[in-house]
Amino acid sequence: MDQNKIPQATAKRLPLYYRFLNNLNHQGKRRVSSKELSEAVKVDSATIRRDFSYFGALGKKGYGYNVEYLLGFFRKTLDQDEVTDVALIGVGNLGTAFLNYNFLKNNNIRIQMGFDADPAKVGTAISDVPIYHIDQLEEKMKGIEVAILTIPAEEADTVTEKLVSLGITGILNFTPARITVPDHIRVHHIDLAVELQALVYFLKHYPLKKGPVEE
Amino acid sequence: MDQNKIPQATAKRLPLYYRFLNNLNHQGKRRVSSKELSEAVKVDSATIRRDFSYFGALGKKGYGYNVEYLLGFFRKTLDQDEVTDVALIGVGNLGTAFLNYNFLKNNNIRIQMGFDADPAKVGTAISDVPIYHIDQLEEKMKGIEVAILTIPAEEADTVTEKLVSLGITGILNFTPARITVPDHIRVHHIDLAVELQALVYFLKHYPLKKGPVEE
DNA sequence: ATATAATTGTGAAATATATCACGACTTCTT
DNA sequence: AAGAAGTCGTGATATATTTCACAATTATAT
């Protein structure tokens, strides 16, 4: 609750920086410049320096940044020391993709349980994550504050209401529905159809000449 | 190639507007105000009016917007009259989720074929989309300009190079790798781990008091 | 030891996006 | 028919983000 001055655009890039620094560290690299990092993550080097500068002077002029130090700093900043538990609602293909992704390794996020309405799935486990019936939300989900929503759009509203009443604070919504929640709950939407269509639109209307435009 | 003055932020919202207008139309609604639309899509009403205004005066003062007219307008603007063909590389869980999604209905985008290295998948079809072996890219993919990348990160670079040499113009990249492409090719990244971690970061550092912040 | 090259951190400027607030016009109500 | 209510389109303003460009500092080469 301290770093309220950090621009949201910067905050969104932090996980990306973190992962690439991790890669570099594993490769045994000791130092890195904003220019090198820029080429790897495709973000302008001045933007990277600016981003880092919000956290103080992390680098050294003429030298660059010490990979290990930077990594340690971001680990703290991104709360990598403390595991965040998450629930996944909707064990379809998309949901299963999430379950198979090891967020614990790079992100210190653990999907603790999954929920689905399909009796064939209830009682099983995917990548060691137990699947419960959606009706068991109330009894199982105590203490979990973040949910990933990978259910059909029609069910988004009912499930959201349930989650809200159970005290959720954040939802990552993959359904095309734009859900309505009280003011204190944060929702991030990722709409696959919109992303695809936006790409197509950009291709037709914004022909590229200069560098690739990253989203 | 005409509307180069439309802000990218606006362009990204167009597919969203389009889908909701479609919903309204199916519900038999004849007119809609920027205020109503705002509540549905969770975008400020002034922003919506501003967005629409880039395309000219589409509404009527004191009345709002005619749903059918607006829809027709956007259909043209979003190239909904012309089907865009897309290839999907990587038929895992995430890839399968895409294959099962009917983009043709709302977005006039058709996934024409999928590619995978798994012999068990090659030769099958998912939602009527044929799956070919990744080695058949060259022979099968003629004329397709857009690809969805849902493969493991390690394979991202090799596959990207192949796609580039085959004349791709746009890539929707779901791998955590930040791929490198020539300047004239557009890449949009969607990084699920980054999205999740960013949500968690925001929850901890930007406690909400006012309205929910939509991404 | 000195000169050269590299690189940061940041003020200032540029660009992009969102929001306010109101005149003008339309529709609705009575 | 007149007044009230609703709504757009947009100039102006506010906010957010990116990029330029350079002094200051450090590292490297000779």
**Mean pLDDT of the region B121-140:** 97
Question: Which residues of B are less than 8 Å from A16 in CB distance?
Answer: 191, 194
Residues 6+ apart with CB under 8 A from A20: A37, A40, A41, B178
What single DSSP character describes residue B83? P
Q: At A210, is the pLDDT very low, low, confident or very high (cuts 50, 70, 90)? A: very low
Decide if B213 and A103 are in contact by the 8 Å CB cutoff.
no
The more confidently predicted of residues A209 and A53 is: A53
Q: At B1, is the pLDDT very low, low, confident or very high (cuts 50, 70, 90)? A: very low
Question: Which residues of B are less than 8 Å from A148 in CB distance?
Answer: 196
Q: Is the CB of B60 under 7 A from strand C?
A: yes
pLDDT at A209: 57
Distance (Å) from the alpha carbon of B62 to chain A's nearest alpha carbon: 27
3-class SS at A133? Answer: strand
Tell me the pLDDT tens digit for each residue of A74-87.
998 887 778 999 99
Mean pLDDT of chain A: 92
Question: Which range among A1-5, A18-22, B9-13, B109-113 shows the weakest confidence by mean pLDDT?
Answer: A1-5
Tell me the pLDDT tens digit for each residue of B25-52.
999 999 999 999 999 999 999 999 999 9
pLDDT at A107: 84
* CA-to-CA separations, A206 to A212, B2, B8, B126, in angstroms, rounded: 11, 9, 9, 32
Spatial distance from the CA of A28 to the C1' of C1 (Å) = 33
Q: At B4, is the pLDDT very low, low, confident or very high (cuts 50, 70, 90)? A: low
Q: How many CB atoms lie within 10 A of CB B98?
A: 26
The minimal CB distance from A78 to the residues B195, B201, B211 is found for B201
d(CA A161, CA A182): 10
Residues 6+ apart with CB under 8 A from B1: A204, A205, A207
pLDDT at B161: 97
Question: Quick one: closest CA in A to B105, which residue?
Answer: A193
Q: Which residue's CA lies closest to nucleotide D26 at its C1' atom?
A: A62
Spatial distance from the CA of A183 to the C1' of C20 (Å) = 22
Q: Which pair of structure tokens corresponds to residue A89? A: 């609602």
* CA-to-CA separations, B147 to A186, B97, B192, in angstroms, rounded: 32, 15, 18
Picking from A23, A26, A99, A192 by the largest number of B CB atoms within 10 A of its own CB, the best residue to mutate is: A192
Residues 6+ apart with CB under 8 A from B23: none
Q: At A4, is the pLDDT very low, low, confident or very high (cuts 50, 70, 90)? A: low
Reply yes or no on whether the pLDDT at A3 is more than 60. Answer: no
Spatial distance from the CA of A35 to the C1' of C4 (Å) = 20
Long-range contacts of A67-76 (CB under 8 A, 24+ apart): A67/A21, A67/A24, A67/A25, A67/A29, A67/A30, A67/A31, A67/A32, A68/A25, A68/A30, A70/A21, A70/A32, A71/A18, A71/A21, A71/A22, A71/A25, A74/A14, A74/A17, A74/A18, A74/A21, A75/A18
Q: At A17, is the pLDDT very low, low, confident or very high (cuts 50, 70, 90)? A: very high
- Protein footprint of strand D, defined by Cβ closer than 7 Å to any strand atom: A 7-10, 43-44, 46-47, 49-50, 60-63; B 33-35, 45-46, 49-50, 52-53, 57-65
**Mean pLDDT of the region A95-113:** 93
Reply yes or no on whether the pLDDT at A187 is more than 80. Answer: yes
Decide if A6 and B205 are in contact by the 8 Å CB cutoff.
yes
Tell me the pLDDT tens digit for each residue of B67-96.
999 999 999 888 777 899 999 999 999 999
Q: Which of residues 21-80 of A touch strand C (CB under 7 A)?
A: 33-35, 45-46, 49-50, 52-53, 57-65
Q: At B209, is the pLDDT very low, low, confident or very high (cuts 50, 70, 90)? A: low
